[in-house]
């Protein structure tokens, strides 16, 4: 089982992206590259926000290229706006469980409490975002991902606004949850250290060209010339 | 976004409401053989009064806006808020107030009589102008005040360091700003006054002070000459469309101006001449705006106990019409709060209520008695007329909600219903409440289409006030006007407050 991007050519405004790679199920992969290199565009293609001009996206051999984002086996954490600020955490999670009505069905409240407990937010169901710290908000967003129960998780720098220690803590929590649930995770980051800590494999994106996943340690210890400039390794 | 079906239904009904009545008017107008001298006179008067109303409103607004921009005083916030009130003030209430101050036996004539000054006459062109300035001076002041507050503080600081005098400051800072704002303010007021009906009905009339709208009403109501009404309607439509498109190019619809509570930091504030003139302008404007309202309230308090059952029945009709048009307007506005929807809604400004009324009358007549449908037609037309203002209020917030949460909505796969119920409506609650309040108040105070259609059993409260005035039962008219004022402001307050309580934004 794998997430495959087969001969993808995508266009966002005047920006072109080419990608052709596969990520094995259960792997944690980092996506690194300079600002404007196409990392977020790549995530948009996988999540279904941007339709490729040519090429196919597959999960477990099933083509999902034409599926809308909500119907893909994928959940995503954005840089910001991962939860609706006017709703309680419980209401937010109920929407993730039942996107057609947003209402709780039998057993839903228990599922919500379990997922909140899993991310260390027991008893936070009635709180709103304004009553929570940045770290707690990130945890609540992760609880939403858990409830969605989808096998692929995309992280578009969701912890960028957190302090360094909190970011490390959150990445560790995501890694723990991902391993326990068998999730395939793609993490976009500016920070090579995130890749070292979180991902066994790393994808480099440069000027719209996506390279296939490589071993993170090998790549960062002996970066190719184009990556060396980005890393500032001389 | 609201479910697509709602968008399509809303767009089709609004477009149908434009195309249907206009087509009916055009078809009916073909049966007519020409424009009479009286019609030319009405056209000339319409253009004359709109031009003069625009000019006076803007010219008086310039010194008033400057005074408000550079002065801070107790009650300034209240006065600035009061400048927004005429928008939701029923025309007939203001007319009664103006009559109480400037009318034959009004306050002014009573004060001037002992001095031997000839009696001030309010009926005719100057009465129409007086009322239009009463309604539009505040609008012009708000627009120009916004311009003044938008001048960067550095410019005034620079003027102070250069030691600029009044004339130099006027030429280098104030005049360039005014040149950008004043034409737009004039254009908006000109367009509003082109479709003046209730003011012309109450203070104008006669061959020398009849607007096109009033001529339409007269040809319907007195002569039942549908073909002539249709021709006049067509001319009115062409006039309003042309002027509306020109106005649209030079200005934006001013509905909910923000930040008018600031004061411009200027270094010429201590100039004694400036202090005196500013104080005089502010005092005169406050008196001009407050005295009529105060008189309506005082006269009304005496009359409100004498109101008969027909007035209360009319009040009931008005509340139902106001609630109906609010519901209909929001039903249209929610899915149309987009760029193209706002363009569609602008038809509500170009198409005068009376033209719409004539068109609907012609459409309905083969199938039903239009007079029996008076209240339904009034509610529909009022909703349509309010639509551009409501869209102006809702669209920025609606677009921000869509932009901010579109990706999260798509990622979660929210259904249209869940999006509306849990995200769109809760986050739009505050502007929705304000827009609903505005529509309800505008509809409550409307004296337009209802005057064309209504029989005594189906009068609304503004029409009832007009009928009482016509019967010279002024005490009862004042009482009914006070009731109307309270209901209009009350409905506005209720909806606006409802939108603020527990608002998500």
Chain B residues 371-430 within an 8 A CB cutoff of chain A: 404-405, 407-408, 410-415, 417-418, 421-423, 426-427
Evaluate whether residue A170 is within a structural domain. no
Q: Percentage helix, strand, coil, to 5, in chain B?
A: 80, 0, 20
Q: Beta strands A201-206 and A28-32: pairing type? A: parallel
Residue range(s) defining the domain that contains residue A56: 1-73+153-163+184-234
- Model pTM score: 0.84
Residue A90 contacts B, CB cutoff 8 Å:
no
B504 and B406 together in one domain: yes
For A69, the closest of B413, B423, B505 (CB atoms) is B413
Domain end marker among B277, B298, B319: B298
B333 and B294 together in one domain: no
CB B211 within 8 A of CB B87: no
Give the per-residue pLDDT at B505. Answer: 60
Cα–Cα distance for residue pair B483/B308, rounded to 1 Å? 12
Cα–Cα distance for residue pair A232/A32, rounded to 1 Å? 14
Give the per-residue pLDDT at B399. Answer: 93
Evaluate whether residue A172 is within a structural domain. no
Please choose, from the candidates B441, B453, B247, the residue with its C-alpha nearest in 3D space to the C-alpha of residue B350: B247
Contact A100 B421 (CB under 8 A): no
Q: Measure in Å the smallest separation between the Cα of B407 and chain A Cα atoms.
A: 8
Q: Identify the band that residue B438 occupies on the pLDDT scale cut at 50, 70 and 90.
A: very high
A16 and A54 together in one domain: yes
B256 and B202 together in one domain: yes
Q: Identify the band that residue B463 occupies on the pLDDT scale cut at 50, 70 and 90.
A: very high
Please choose, from the candidates B97, B104, B105, the residue with its C-alpha nearest in 3D space to the C-alpha of residue B131: B97
Residue A86 contacts B, CB cutoff 8 Å:
yes
Contact B410 A87 (CB under 8 A): no
Say whether B286 sits in a helix, a strand or coil: helix
Q: Measure in Å the smallest separation between the Cα of A78 and chain B Cα atoms.
A: 8
Domain of residue B391, CATH code? 1.10.3720.10
Evaluate whether residue A169 is within a structural domain. no
Give the per-residue pLDDT at B241. Answer: 83
B288 and B313 together in one domain: no
* Structural domains of chain B, count: 2
Stretch A165-184: mean pLDDT? 92
Q: Taking the C-alpha atoms of B171, B172, B178 and B179 in order, what is their torsion angle to the nearest 10 degrees? A: 80
- Please report which residue ranges of A19-107 form alpha helices under DSSP H: 39-47, 89-97
Contact A102 B411 (CB under 8 A): no
Give the per-residue pLDDT at B261. Answer: 58
Evaluate whether residue A178 is within a structural domain. no
CB A91 within 8 A of CB B422: yes
Q: Tens digits of per-residue pLDDT, B43-56?
A: 999 999 999 999 99
B12 and B90 together in one domain: no
B219 and B287 together in one domain: yes
Question: Would the ipTM clear 0.85, i.e. be above it?
Answer: yes
B294 and B353 together in one domain: no
* Structural domains of chain A, count: 2
B283 and B314 together in one domain: no
Q: Identify the band that residue B504 occupies on the pLDDT scale cut at 50, 70 and 90.
A: low
A37 and A64 together in one domain: yes
Domain end marker among B263, B298, B333: B298
B236 and B268 together in one domain: yes
Angle in degrees, CA B3, B7, B13, rounded to 5: 140
Closest chain A residue to the Cα of B408, Cα to Cα: A82
B334 and B285 together in one domain: no
> Which range among A78-82, B255-259, B270-274, B353-357 shows the weakest confidence by mean pLDDT?
B255-259
Chain A residues 124-163 within an 8 A CB cutoff of chain B: 148
Mean pLDDT of chain B: 87
Residue A41 contacts B, CB cutoff 8 Å:
no
Residue range(s) defining the domain that contains residue B374: 1-31+307-505
B316 and B456 together in one domain: yes
Burial label, A73 (beta-carbon count in 10 A; 0-12, 13-18, 19+): middle
Tell me the CA distances in angstroms from B324 to B13, B437, B443, one per residue in order.
16, 13, 9
Element (H, E) at B32: none
Closest chain B residue to the Cα of A99, Cα to Cα: B414
Q: Identify the band that residue B264 occupies on the pLDDT scale cut at 50, 70 and 90.
A: low
CB A56 within 8 A of CB A21: no
Cα–Cα distance for residue pair B98/B68, rounded to 1 Å? 24
Stretch B268-278: mean pLDDT? 79
Residues of A in contact with B418 (CB under 8 A): 95, 98-102
Domain end marker among B234, B267, B298: B298
Evaluate whether residue A168 is within a structural domain. no
Please choose, from the candidates B390, B378, B385, the residue with its C-alpha nearest in 3D space to the C-alpha of residue B320: B378
Evaluate whether residue A52 is within a structural domain. yes
CB B71 within 8 A of CB B278: yes
Residues 6+ apart with CB under 8 A from A37: A205, A206, A207, A208
Burial label, B486 (beta-carbon count in 10 A; 0-12, 13-18, 19+): middle
Q: Tens digits of per-residue pLDDT, B91-142?
A: 999 999 999 999 888 888 888 888 888 888 889 998 999 999 999 999 999 8
A50 and A158 together in one domain: yes
Cα–Cα distance for residue pair B142/A3, rounded to 1 Å? 59
Domain of residue A224, CATH code? 3.40.50.300
Q: Tens digits of per-residue pLDDT, A1-47?
A: 799 999 999 999 889 999 999 999 999 999 999 888 999 999 999 99
Highest mean pLDDT among B112-121, B257-266, B409-418: B409-418
A158 and A197 together in one domain: yes
CA B97 to the chain's CA centroid: 17
Residues 6+ apart with CB under 8 A from B178: B62, B144, B147
| DSSP string of B148-204, one letter each residue | HHHS-HHHHHHHHHTT--HHHHIIIIIHHHHHHHHHHHHHHHHHHHHT--HHHHHH-
**For B121, which DSSP code?**
P
B198 and B287 together in one domain: yes
Q: Beta strands A54-59 and A201-206: pairing type? A: unpaired
Contact B412 A82 (CB under 8 A): no
Say whether B429 sits in a helix, a strand or coil: helix
Q: Tens digits of per-residue pLDDT, B59-92?
A: 999 999 989 988 888 888 888 888 888 888 999 9
């Amino acid at each position: 089982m794998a997430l495959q991007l087969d001969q993808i050519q995508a266009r966002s405004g005047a920006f072109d992206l080419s990608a052709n790679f596969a990520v094995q199920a259960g792997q944690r992969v980092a996506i690194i590259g300079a600002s404007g290199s196409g990392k977020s565009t790549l995530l948009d293609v996988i999540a279904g926000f941007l339709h490729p001009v040519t090429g196919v996206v597959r999960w477990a051999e099933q083509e999902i290229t034409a599926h809308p984002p909500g119907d893909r086996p994928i959940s995503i954490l954005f840089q910001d706006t991962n939860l609706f600020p006017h709703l309680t955490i419980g209401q937010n999670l109920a929407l993730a469980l039942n996107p057609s009505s947003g209402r709780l069905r039998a057993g839903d409240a228990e599922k919500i409490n379990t997922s909140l407990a899993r991310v260390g937010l027991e008893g936070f169901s009635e709180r709103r975002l304004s009553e929570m710290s940045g770290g707690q908000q990130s945890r609540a967003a992760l609880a939403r991902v858990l409830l969605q129960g989808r096998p692929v998780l995309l992280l578009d720098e969701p912890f960028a606004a957190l302090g360094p220690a909190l970011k490390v803590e959150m990445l560790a929590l995501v890694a723990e949850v991902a391993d326990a649930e068998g999730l395939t995770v793609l993490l976009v980051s500016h920070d090579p250290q995130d890749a070292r800590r979180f991902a066994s494999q790393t994808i480099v994106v440069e000027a719209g060209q996506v390279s296939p996943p490589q071993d993170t340690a090998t790549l960062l210890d002996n970066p190719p010339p184009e990556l060396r400039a980005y890393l500032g390794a001389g | 976004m609201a479910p697509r079906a709602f968008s399509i239904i809303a767009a089709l009904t609004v477009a149908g409401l434009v195309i249907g009545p206009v087509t009916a008017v055009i078809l009916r107008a073909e049966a007519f053989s020409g424009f009479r001298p009286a019609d030319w006179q009405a056209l000339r008067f319409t253009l004359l009064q709109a031009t003069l109303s625009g000019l006076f409103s803007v010219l008086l607004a310039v010194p008033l806006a400057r005074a408000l921009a550079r002065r801070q005083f107790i009650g300034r916030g209240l006065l600035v808020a009061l400048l927004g009130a005429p928008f939701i003030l029923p025309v007939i209430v203001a007319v009664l107030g103006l009559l109480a101050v400037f009318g034959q036996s009004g306050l002014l004539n009573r004060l001037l009589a002992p001095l031997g000054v000839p009696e001030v006459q309010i009926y005719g062109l100057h009465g129409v102008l007086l009322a239009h300035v009463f309604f539009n001076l505040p609008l012009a002041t708000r627009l120009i005040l916004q311009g003044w507050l938008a001048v960067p503080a550095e410019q005034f600081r620079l003027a102070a360091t250069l030691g600029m005098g009044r004339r130099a400051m006027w030429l280098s800072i104030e005049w360039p700003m005014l040149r950008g704002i004043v034409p737009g303010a004039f254009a908006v007021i000109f367009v509003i006054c082109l479709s003046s009906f209730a003011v012309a009905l109450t203070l104008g009339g006669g061959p020398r002070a009849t607007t096109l709208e009033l001529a339409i009403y007269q040809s319907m109501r007195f002569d039942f000459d549908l073909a002539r009404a249709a021709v006049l309607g067509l001319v009115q439509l062409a006039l309003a469309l042309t002027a509306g498109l020109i106005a649209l190019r030079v200005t934006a619809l001013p509905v909910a101006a923000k930040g008018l509570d600031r004061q411009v930091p200027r270094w010429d504030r201590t100039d004694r001449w400036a202090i005196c003139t500013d104080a005089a302008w502010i005092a005169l404007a406050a008196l001009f705006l407050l005295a009529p309202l105060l008189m309506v309230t005082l006269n009304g308090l005496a009359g409100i106990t004498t109101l008969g059952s027909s007035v209360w029945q009319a009040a009931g009709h008005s509340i139902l019409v106001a609630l109906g048009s609010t519901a209909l307007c929001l039903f249209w506005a929610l899915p149309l709060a987009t760029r193209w929807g706002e363009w569609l809604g602008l038809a509500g400004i170009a198409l005068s209520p009376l033209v719409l009324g004539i068109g609907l009358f012609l459409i309905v007549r083969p199938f039903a008695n239009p007079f029996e449908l008076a209240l339904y037609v009034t509610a529909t037309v009022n909703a349509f007329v309010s639509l551009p203002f409501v869209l102006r209020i809702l669209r920025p917030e609606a677009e921000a909600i869509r932009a901010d949460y579109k990706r999260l909505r798509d990622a979660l796969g929210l259904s249209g219903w869940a999006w509306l119920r849990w995200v769109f409506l809760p986050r739009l609650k505050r502007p929705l409440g304000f827009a609903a309040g505005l529509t309800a108040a505008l509809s409550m105070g409307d004296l337009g289409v209802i005057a064309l259609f209504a029989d005594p059993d189906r009068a609304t409260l503004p029409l009832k006030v007009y009928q009482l005035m016509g019967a010279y039962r002024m005490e009862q008219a004042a009482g009914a006007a006070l009731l109307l004022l309270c209901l209009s402001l009350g409905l506005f307050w209720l909806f606006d407050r409802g939108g603020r309580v527990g608002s998500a934004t």
